[in-house]
């Protein structure tokens, strides 16, 4: 007797472990690893996945599998093991993790099908709803969801319960086929040798020109889609089919994922010495099938992408495959174009413009082994690519790699785990690596590969700092930025003015000395709450009255910081009347097509000055931008997050990169009240000094990489409920070191009040265990939600 281990696919936290089910003989051939099945569970039929087999059953009364949804295996052991790791590491369920690895369209769903049973003796026994329900049942019955859509969920549920009990209707669980299946296409082809076809073309030319045209087309092209041929006349085609000159073939239509993708086929002749050295290190690991982590650290334009391309090419030459992760496909068009250009048909690009059908096709083709390279965003880390020999993670520091709902995985860290399990090298690249990654590289647990010089001749933009403490404060712009804007506007260059968005209260900054009040225990900037005139630490919850004078210089101009985009726009109009200004923030960009319109206006120079938030920092590639002004670096520097400095540096480098992408060298001006802040200095070039200082602070305050963090956000519709629930959760987490509970910086989001708890531990595994036990012991009040974020990246 053979038993299958079935992971029930329901969103119920208590069904984490697979159950044994008997494999009926008639299903032997179809019940394979990774197949979706229907099994009985507490007298219901529920979907599940086969995740293993056993010769023995734990109990004698094991039930049989009811049905095999489709004989296609959706995942292999490698993906299942990775999903289990993700579930364990991120305190999620294996179901949640597995669903990241399977496109939802590939999952056939179950439906509840309602059919008529015995006729009620008397129609007056039926309520109005029940009569409506019976009326809606066709002779074959109806899908319960369709009834719900027509009548309402509660009403249908109550009516069905009573009618089932009376025997008037029966409800059966059935398999509904996948929403999308591979598209079939009918091609036409010559059924005779080409010479015979050409003879027929001559014969038909006069009296049957349509037939001649179709034959000529097929003789020239070999084959053509029927739909295209039909446009020329169905009668002629039918005649040709009848005469046996043409035949139909059914094929699986390929929805080409690279369709419309721009390809860059340039290949530099020779690598620089630094590139060569980096590539050789990776190839050595590749040749010896050795898991090793490489951190490729080099400024933009230093040739990192070329190293990825060569390493991937070498992996393919050795008969292996490669997985390439990029933060966001839409924002990295050049990178994608170069992969598409270098590897052509062999590369699948999982971009967001794919239709559901294209995504589904591509996923299956990857699973079948049609591609050697997969390029995609964070979810691609679960791509069903077999024989991976190399994993590449571009821009490893990017926050976009973190998933924002459960399981809240970090694609870089999952990539590290996947390559570790496979025993293959992983190549992480960045111009501004995360502090944690740099630490591992510096400690020697990872291999640090530096590209110190730029390949292309284009110089980095010149960066200047304006010390806002020395300005008179009448304008949001300092004198240097006003002068630079005046010069650029006169010469016809475009100007980008960058501001950091905030969705919550901001910190105070002293306009005289640049001091920002911080929490003594947590090191993070305190946020200022105008209503209560209080300063609050969002980590530990400490609340202090706002000082009237600066604790550092006794100055009296201690104010919340950060002008809004609107204020900046008005200021530009006031200083430069008549200049074309546009604003890009969440208000102006929410309308459909607004982004595209703005891009067109910028490209055609209908906009000369653009004021924008983070939204425009990435991916903007405009040759006309000669000047970038960072209006207030202080906002980023004083976010209530221990990574504020690191994040500010990454943003500064990113926006600075928007300048001088054309012929003329660009210019960047950073305005700040903290001109000596290490992150600001690092943006001008000295990034290792920043790193040393940051590492010292993290060590002193015990933040990663010197500890692990788990953030728990408790939310409720009423403030008191959120607070009470957070406090009771904090009590039951007593086994871990706890910061908080306190209101989250985004204290209210879409009508939910949010409280946060940060659990911290020296040992990641012990911390996870403590939090898991605390959660299990906690009784979650009704109406309260909880979100668990292991290794949080953005703590808002």
Q: Kindly identify the residues of this chain, within the stretch 205-224, that bind ligand ADP according to CB under 6 A.
A: none
Complex with ligand ADP: residue 283 or 455, whichever CB lies closer: 455
Residue 774 binds to ligand ADP (criterion: CB under 6 A): no
Complex with ligand ADP: residue 304 or 422, whichever CB lies closer: 304
Provide the token pair at 605.
Answer: 């120079």
Query: Helix, strand, or coil here: 28?
Result: coil
* Residues contacting residue 210 through CB under 8 Å, at least 6 positions apart: 232, 233, 235, 236
Query: Helix, strand, or coil here: 70?
Result: strand
522 binds, among Zn ion, ligand ADP, none (CB under 5 to 8 A by kind): Zn ion
Min separation Cβ 351 and ligand ADP, Å: 19
Residue 271 binds to ligand ADP (criterion: CB under 6 A): yes
305 binds, among ligand ADP, Zn ion, none (CB under 5 to 8 A by kind): ligand ADP
Residue 651 binds to ligand ADP (criterion: CB under 6 A): no
Residue 430 binds to ligand ADP (criterion: CB under 6 A): no
Residue 275 binds to ligand ADP (criterion: CB under 6 A): yes
| Residues constituting the chain | 796
Rounded CA separation 82/76 (Å): 10
Provide the token pair at 788.
Answer: 């668990």
Rounded CA separation 373/320 (Å): 9
Complex with ligand ADP: residue 298 or 425, whichever CB lies closer: 298
Which of 115, 150, 192, 455 is in the footprint of ligand ADP by CB under 6 A? Answer: 455
Q: Kindly identify the residues of this chain, within the stretch 532-561, that bind ligand ADP according to CB under 6 A.
A: none
Residue 654 binds to ligand ADP (criterion: CB under 6 A): no
Complex with ligand ADP: residue 215 or 299, whichever CB lies closer: 299
Min separation Cβ 245 and ligand ADP, Å: 51
Rounded CA separation 228/230 (Å): 6
Min separation Cβ 702 and Zn ion, Å: 12
Complex with ligand ADP: residue 394 or 585, whichever CB lies closer: 394
Residue 305 binds to ligand ADP (criterion: CB under 6 A): yes
Min separation Cβ 657 and ligand ADP, Å: 10
Min separation Cβ 483 and ligand ADP, Å: 31
Of 104-112, 121-129, 300-308, 464-472: span binding ligand ADP (CB under 6 A): 300-308
Complex with ligand ADP: residue 218 or 451, whichever CB lies closer: 451
Question: Is the bond preceding residue 531 a cis peptide, omega within 30 degrees?
Answer: no
Provide the token pair at 112.
Answer: 């509840």
Residue 456 binds to ligand ADP (criterion: CB under 6 A): yes
Min separation Cβ 746 and Zn ion, Å: 17
- In the complex, the residues that contact Zn ion under the rule CB under 5 A are 519, 521-522, 537, 539-540, 542
Complex with Zn ion: residue 163 or 522, whichever CB lies closer: 522
Of 56-64, 269-277, 504-512, 517-525: span binding ligand ADP (CB under 6 A): 269-277
Min separation Cβ 80 and Zn ion, Å: 41
Min separation Cβ 308 and ligand ADP, Å: 8
Complex with ligand ADP: residue 268 or 344, whichever CB lies closer: 268
Burial class for 177, CB neighbours closer than 10 Å (0-12, 13-18, 19+): exposed
437 binds, among Zn ion, ligand ADP, none (CB under 5 to 8 A by kind): none
Q: How many CA atoms lie within 13 A of 1 on its CB side?
A: 12
Complex with ligand ADP: residue 303 or 425, whichever CB lies closer: 303
Give the gyration radius of the chain's Cα atoms: 31
How many residues belong to the site for ligand ADP (CB under 6 A)? 16
Min separation Cβ 544 and Zn ion, Å: 10
521 binds, among Zn ion, ligand ADP, none (CB under 5 to 8 A by kind): Zn ion
Complex with ligand ADP: residue 404 or 453, whichever CB lies closer: 453
Min separation Cβ 701 and Zn ion, Å: 10
The DSSP H or E segment spanning 170 is strand 169-176
Of 27-35, 49-57, 152-160, 265-273: span binding ligand ADP (CB under 6 A): 265-273
Which of 304, 367, 538, 643 is in the footprint of ligand ADP by CB under 6 A? Answer: 304
Provide the token pair at 550.
Answer: 């600066």
Closest CA to 671 of 568, 594, 751: 568
Residue 503 binds to ligand ADP (criterion: CB under 6 A): no
Residue 337 binds to ligand ADP (criterion: CB under 6 A): no
* Residues contacting residue 702 through CB under 8 Å, at least 6 positions apart: 760
Residue 660 binds to ligand ADP (criterion: CB under 6 A): no
Which of 154, 268, 344, 369 is in the footprint of ligand ADP by CB under 6 A? Answer: 268
Rounded CA separation 158/313 (Å): 61
Complex with ligand ADP: residue 304 or 320, whichever CB lies closer: 304
Per-residue b or e along 217-229, where b marks 16 or more CB atoms closer than 10 Å to that residue's CB = bbbeeeebebeeb
Min separation Cβ 264 and ligand ADP, Å: 8
Complex with ligand ADP: residue 86 or 426, whichever CB lies closer: 426
Of 88-96, 268-276, 280-288, 650-658: span binding ligand ADP (CB under 6 A): 268-276
Complex with Zn ion: residue 611 or 644, whichever CB lies closer: 644
Rounded CA separation 341/362 (Å): 18
Rounded CA separation 389/405 (Å): 30
Of 156-164, 177-185, 304-312, 665-673: span binding ligand ADP (CB under 6 A): 304-312
Complex with ligand ADP: residue 304 or 365, whichever CB lies closer: 304
The DSSP H or E segment spanning 485 is helix 479-491
Residue 298 binds to ligand ADP (criterion: CB under 6 A): yes
CB 321 within 8 A of CB 437: no
DSSP letter for each residue of 734-764: TTSEEEEEEEEEEEEETTEEEEEEEEEESSH
Alpha-carbon torsion, ordered 680, 686, 691, 697, to 10 deg: -50
Which of 302, 500, 588, 650 is in the footprint of ligand ADP by CB under 6 A? Answer: 302
Residue 708 binds to ligand ADP (criterion: CB under 6 A): no
Provide the token pair at 743.
Answer: 């209101």
- The single residue listed with the structure tokens 């993670």 is 393
Rounded CA separation 386/367 (Å): 7
Rounded CA separation 614/592 (Å): 19
Q: Listing from the earlier edge strand, what are the strands of the sheet with 19-22?
A: 19-22, 3-8, 44-54, 36-41, 67-70
Closest CA to 630 of 506, 497, 494: 497
Rounded CA separation 760/708 (Å): 6
Which of 84, 181, 300, 552 is in the footprint of ligand ADP by CB under 6 A? Answer: 300
Of 296-304, 414-422, 574-582, 781-789: span binding ligand ADP (CB under 6 A): 296-304
DSSP category for residue 780: P
CB 322 within 8 A of CB 348: no
Complex with Zn ion: residue 421 or 702, whichever CB lies closer: 702
275 binds, among ligand ADP, Zn ion, none (CB under 5 to 8 A by kind): ligand ADP
Complex with Zn ion: residue 346 or 542, whichever CB lies closer: 542
Q: How many CA atoms lie within 13 A of 64 on its CB side?
A: 10
442 binds, among Zn ion, ligand ADP, none (CB under 5 to 8 A by kind): none
> What is the distance between the terminal CA atoms of the chain, rounded to a whole angstrom?
53
Rounded CA separation 279/427 (Å): 10
Q: How many CA atoms lie within 13 A of 645 on its CB side?
A: 24
**Contact footprint for ligand ADP (CB under 6 A):** 266, 268, 270-272, 275, 298, 300-306, 455-456
């Amino acid at each position: 007797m053979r038993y299958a281990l079935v992971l029930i696919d329901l969103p119920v936290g208590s069904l984490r472990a697979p159950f044994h089910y008997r494999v009926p003989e008639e299903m032997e051939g179809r019940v394979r690893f990774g197949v979706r099945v229907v099994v009985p569970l507490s007298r219901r039929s529920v979907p599940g996945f086969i995740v293993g087999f056993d010769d023995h059953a734990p109990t004698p009364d094991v039930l049989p599998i009811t049905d095999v949804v489709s004989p296609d295996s959706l995942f292999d052991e490698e993906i299942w093991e990775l999903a289990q790791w993700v579930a364990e590491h991120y305190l999620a369920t294996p179901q949640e993790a597995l669903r990241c690895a399977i496109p939802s369209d590939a999952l056939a769903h179950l439906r509840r099908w309602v059919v008529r049973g015995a006729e009620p003796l008397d129609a007056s026994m039926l309520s109005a709803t029940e009569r409506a329900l019976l009326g809606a049942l066709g002779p074959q019955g109806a899908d319960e969801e369709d009834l719900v859509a027509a009548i309402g969920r509660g009403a249908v549920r109550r009516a069905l319960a009573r009618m089932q009990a009376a025997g008037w209707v029966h409800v059966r669980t059935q398999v509904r086929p996948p929403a999308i299946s591979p598209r079939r296409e009918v091609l036409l082809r010559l059924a005779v040798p080409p010479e015979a076809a050409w003879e027929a073309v001559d014969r038909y030319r006069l009296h049957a020109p349509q037939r001649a045209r179709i034959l000529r087309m097929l003789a020239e092209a070999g084959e053509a889609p029927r739909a295209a041929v039909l446009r020329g006349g169905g009668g002629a085609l039918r005649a040709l089919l009848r005469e046996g000159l043409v035949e139909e073939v059914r094929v699986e239509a390929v929805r080409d994922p690279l369709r419309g993708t721009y390809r860059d086929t340039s290949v530099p002749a020779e690598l620089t010495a630094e590139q060569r050295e980096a590539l050789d290190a990776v190839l050595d690991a590749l040749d010896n099938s050795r898991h090793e982590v490489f951190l490729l650290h080099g400024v933009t334009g230093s040739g990192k992408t070329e190293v990825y391309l060569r390493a991937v090419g070498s992996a393919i030459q050795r008969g292996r495959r490669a997985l390439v992760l990029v933060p966001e496909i839409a924002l990295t068009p050049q990178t994608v174009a170069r992969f598409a250009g270098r590897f052509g048909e062999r590369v699948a690009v999982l971009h967001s413009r794919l239709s559901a059908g294209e995504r589904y096709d591509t996923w299956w083709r990857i699973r079948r082994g049609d591609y050697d390279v997969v390029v995609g965003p964070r979810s691609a880390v679960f791509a069903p690519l077999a024989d991976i020999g190399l994993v590449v993670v571009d821009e490893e520091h990017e926050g976009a790699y973190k998933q924002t709902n459960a399981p809240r995985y970090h694609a870089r860290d999952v990539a590290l785990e996947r390559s570790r399990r496979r025993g293959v090298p992983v190549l992480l690249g960045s111009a501004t690596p995360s502090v944690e990654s740099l630490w591992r590289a510096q400690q020697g647990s990872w291999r640090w590969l530096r590209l110190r010089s730029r390949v292309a001749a284009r110089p980095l933009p010149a960066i200047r700092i304006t010390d806002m403490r020395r300005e008179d404060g009448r304008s949001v712009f300092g004198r240097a930025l006003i002068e630079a804007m005046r010069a650029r506007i006169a010469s016809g260059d475009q100007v980008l003015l960058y501001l950091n968005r905030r969705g919550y209260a901001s910190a105070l900054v002293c306009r005289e000395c640049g001091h920002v009040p911080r929490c003594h225990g947590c090191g993070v900037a305190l946020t200022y709450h105008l209503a209560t005139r209080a300063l609050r630490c969002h980590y530990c919850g400490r609340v202090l009255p706002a000082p009237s004078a600066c604790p550092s210089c006794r100055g009296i101009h201690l104010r919340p910081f950060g002008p809004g985009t609107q204020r900046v726009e008005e200021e530009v109009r006031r200083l430069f009347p008549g200049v074309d200004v546009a604003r890009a923030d969440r208000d102006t960009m929410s309308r459909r097509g607004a982004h595209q319109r703005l891009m067109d206006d910028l490209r055609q120079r209908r906009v000369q000055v653009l004021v924008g938030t983070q939204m425009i920092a990435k991916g903007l590639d405009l040759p006309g931008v000669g000047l970038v002004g960072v209006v207030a670096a202080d906002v980023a520097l004083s976010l209530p997050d221990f990574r504020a400095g690191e994040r500010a540096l990454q943003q500064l480098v990113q926006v600075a990169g928007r300048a001088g992408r054309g012929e003329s060298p660009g210019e960047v001006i950073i305005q700040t009240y903290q001109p000596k802040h290490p992150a600001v200095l690092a943006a001008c070039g000295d990034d290792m000094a920043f790193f040393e200082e940051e590492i010292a602070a993290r060590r002193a305050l015990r933040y990663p990489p010197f500890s692990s963090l788990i953030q728990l956000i408790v939310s409720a519709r009423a403030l008191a409920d959120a607070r009470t629930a957070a406090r009771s959760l904090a009590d039951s987490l007593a086994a871990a070191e706890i910061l908080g509970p306190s209101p989250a910086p985004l204290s209210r989001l879409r009508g939910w009040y949010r409280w946060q708890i940060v659990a911290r531990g020296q040992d990641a595994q012990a911390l996870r265990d403590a939090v898991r036990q605390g959660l299990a012991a906690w009784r979650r009040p009704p109406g309260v939600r909880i979100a668990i974020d292991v290794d949080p990246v953005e703590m808002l």
